[in-house]
Amino acid sequence: MHDLIIIGAGPAGLTAALYAGRSRLDTLMIEKMVVGGRILMSETIENYPGFPGGILTQELISRMETQVKELEVKIISDEITELDCQKKTIKGLNSVYASKAIIIASGAKPRKLNVPGEEKYTGRGVSYCATCDAPFFKDKKIVIVGGGNAVAEEAIYLSRFASSVSVIHRRQDLRADKILQEKLQENKKINFILSSIVTEIKGSQKVEAVTIKDLLSGKENDFSCDGVFIYIGYEPETTFLKGKLEMNESGLLLTDENMVTSAEGIFACGDCRKKGFYQVINACGDGAVAADSAYKFIANMR
Ligand code: NAP
């Protein structure tokens, strides 16, 4: 029986662990993939305060991990499949865990385009992670789909490797921060295919083309390319919590401002919860608040 279990070791979970460790709670953190989570799909973070010019994501996460381990928080690998809100027990693929309080920091996974060819060519030209796969596309032609901050940052990163990067976006205007849009416009390797969607990914052994539909004319054309990077947002990793905790139709957990969920002693923070703005900085803020709420909950039990 631990004081606190934190599910997920991204920025929100790591910050919750930092605050819990400093409160001397016996804390276990469980992560199914790698410490850092999906933020590691971005090479650098430019808007984390205190790092002019940005910081490598891996570097920031390593620092957070070291800070947490110094406080004797235990980090283990397991995938959680079930949660009993009453008993505060958690079932994973490897073991069953129990604690007085639980913080869900399970994050989010990349949203899929759901077009023919996407699944077939994943790992054979289709990617959701520029940091992982960019070196495979040296001097190749790449398309990248989406219009948010992720597309802007990753298009710039991919342009260091690729011969050209075509941003395909379903609207006429990107929603990325203006400072990023300026950098995109200045980059000679980056071009735009706007008011357009990808309707199919084609190839033989690997990706060879995408079919692009122009939403203004309705016409479809094949566009030859070697890689397709998809950055169209994220979906919360909350399937294992369905029917256990209140969530909206998108699966985002509903909390109050203290990160309290619909079940007593269970808190949620970061990208798995419903809020208005999804950034590393406020994922960390959520984590700190969740740990404080968990600490107060446990203290009241004594
Ligand atoms: P996002 O801001 O939600 O943007 C997703 C983009 O994909 C939008 O432009 C959207 O189009 C488009 N899209 C969604 N579904 C689509 C579909 N089925 N087909 C075609 N296009 C589709 O997502 P994101 O850029 O991946 O970023 C996710 C979150 O992380 C955001 O809150 C972002 O600010 C944050 N982020 C933060 C940092 C940072 O802190 N440094 C870096 C990167 C991202 P519409 O515009 O038409 O909706």
pLDDT digits (tens, 9 = 90+) for 120-141: 999 899 999 998 899 999 999 9
Provide φ and ψ at 135, rounded to 5°.
-60, -20
Task: Kindly report the average pLDDT of the chain as a whole number.
Answer: 96
Question: Per-residue pLDDT for 83 more than 80?
Answer: yes
Neighbouring residues of 278: CB distance < 8 A, sequence distance ≥ 6: 234, 271
- pLDDT bin (cut points 50, 70, 90) of residue 58 is very high
Distance from C-alpha of 260 to C-alpha of 248, rounded to nearest angstrom: 15
Element (H, E) at 227: strand 227-230
- pLDDT bin (cut points 50, 70, 90) of residue 214 is very high
Distance from C-alpha of 101 to C-alpha of 197, rounded to nearest angstrom: 45
Q: Which of 134, 118, 125 is nearest to 232 (CA)?
A: 118
Count of residues in the chain: 302
pLDDT digits (tens, 9 = 90+) for 154-188: 999 999 999 999 999 999 999 999 999 999 999 99
Average pLDDT of span 248-267: 97
Question: Residue 2 has which token pair?
Answer: 């631990």
Res 41: pLDDT: 83
Question: Per-residue pLDDT for 38 more than 90?
Answer: no
7-34 burial, b if ≥16 CB within 10 A, otherwise e?
A: bbbbbbbbbbbbbbbebebbbbbbbbbe
Res 132: pLDDT: 83
Res 46: pLDDT: 86
| Contact by Cβ (8 Å): 152, 183 | yes
| Contact by Cβ (8 Å): 34, 133 | no
Question: Per-residue pLDDT for 118 more than 80?
Answer: yes
Residue nearest atom 28 in ligand 1 by C-alpha distance: 233
Question: Per-residue pLDDT for 264 more than 90?
Answer: yes
Residues having CB closer than 6 A to ligand 1 are 42, 45, 47, 113, 145-151, 153, 170-171, 175, 197, 231-234, 278-280
Average pLDDT of span 212-222: 97
**In a mutational test of the pocket of ligand 1, which residue from 179, 271, 278 has the highest number of ligand atoms less than 8 Å from its CB?**
278
Q: State in Å: Cα 224 to ligand 1 middle.
A: 24
Domains of the chain: 2-110+234-301 (3.50.50.60), 126-230 (3.50.50.60)
Provide φ and ψ at 150, rounded to 5°.
-60, -45
| Contact by Cβ (8 Å): 201, 210 | yes
**In a mutational test of the pocket of ligand 1, which residue from 41, 175, 180, 271 has the highest number of ligand atoms less than 8 Å from its CB?**
175
Residue nearest atom 37 in ligand 1 by C-alpha distance: 279
183-199 burial, b if ≥16 CB within 10 A, otherwise e?
A: bbeeeebbebbbbbbbe
Average pLDDT of span 67-94: 95
Q: Is 129 a catalytic residue?
A: yes
Question: Per-residue pLDDT for 302 more than 80?
Answer: no
Strands 44-45 and 55-56 turn out to be: antiparallel
Q: Which of 273, 278, 283 is nearest to 251 (CA)?
A: 273
Average pLDDT of span 87-113: 96
- pLDDT bin (cut points 50, 70, 90) of residue 56 is very high
Q: Is 132 a catalytic residue?
A: yes
